[in-house]
Each structure stands twice: as C-alpha cells, then as structure tokens.
Amino acid sequence: MISQTEFTLRSRSRGFHLITDEIISNLPKLPEVGMLNLFMKHTSAALTINENADPDVQADMARIFDNLIRDNEPFYVHTLEGDDDMPAHAKSSIVGVSLNIPITKGRLNMGIWQGIYLCEFRLHGKNRKIVATIMG
C-alpha cells in the first residue's frame, strides 16, 4: 500500500525548529511496517533529524549555519528577494529537502533522542508545504 498526503507547516522565523509532533499530527494512520518519506516543496528551507531533548542544539545549529554561510556577501548575484535569499538556497542544498523514516509497529522508528527539524533559513519564513508518502 502507498498513500500520500500534503499539508502545510505554520510559518516560523529563521532557525532550527523541532516539528516532530506537528508532522505526526498531519499523518494518517501508519501501517505496521513501512517507510515514510517527507519532502519539502521549497528551496529556502530544509528537513533534518537531530537531537530532540536539549534546545541548545537548535540554537547551536542555527549559529553554525549562519557562520558557515553568511547573509549579504558581496559576491552574491541572486539578491532580488533580500540579503537572506541566496544564503537560504545554499543552506537548503547542504541539508536537503527530504527524509526517509522507517515505520515499525505503526509508529515512526526513530531513536529516543531524535526529532524532526524544520530548518528555516529565511529571516521571516513562510508557511512550508510538505508531501508525506507512506509505503507499507
């Protein structure tokens, strides 16, 4: 069986946001065994899995990426949508826009300290569309 649903995450400001519960609340009943693919339909945000217990990880990840790829560099050509636009595209390419998560016993099979993050790379993020494909 394969099913697919599309939903929208609420807008957030720049940062790494734990969204596991929001993702789960938008999914239909999961099969006993299978695979969930999450795909973000945007080029200035990303999805990743990381530490879900200590919020310092979220703040540190944001600082790391903001230092790796800075806003308003003089060599950027693609600046029509603002100083944070091109850096957001670059960060999104590094992290990626999709995740695969195994489903076991009708639940997402992630480690105890793992959570799903929305990586919002724009200063003022928009609502983000996610396509969830469930195979099982």
Residue ranges making up the domain that contains 54: 2-135
Instruction: Indicate the number of domains in the chain.
Output: 1
User: Measuring CA to CA, how many Å separate 11 from each of 2, 33, 90?
Assistant: 29, 32, 20
The string of DSSP codes covering 1-28 is -EEEEEEEEPP-EEEEEE-HHHHHHTS-
Q: What is the pLDDT of residues 36-88, one digit of tens each?
A: 999 999 999 999 999 999 999 999 999 999 999 999 999 999 999 999 999 99
pTM of the model: 0.95
Sign of CA dihedral 15, 19, 22, 23: positive
Q: What is the mean pLDDT of residues 18-42?
A: 98
What CATH number is attached to the domain comprising 124? 2.60.120.460
% of the chain surpassing 90 pLDDT: 99
pLDDT on residue 128: 98
What band does 108 get if pLDDT is binned at 50, 70 and 90? very high
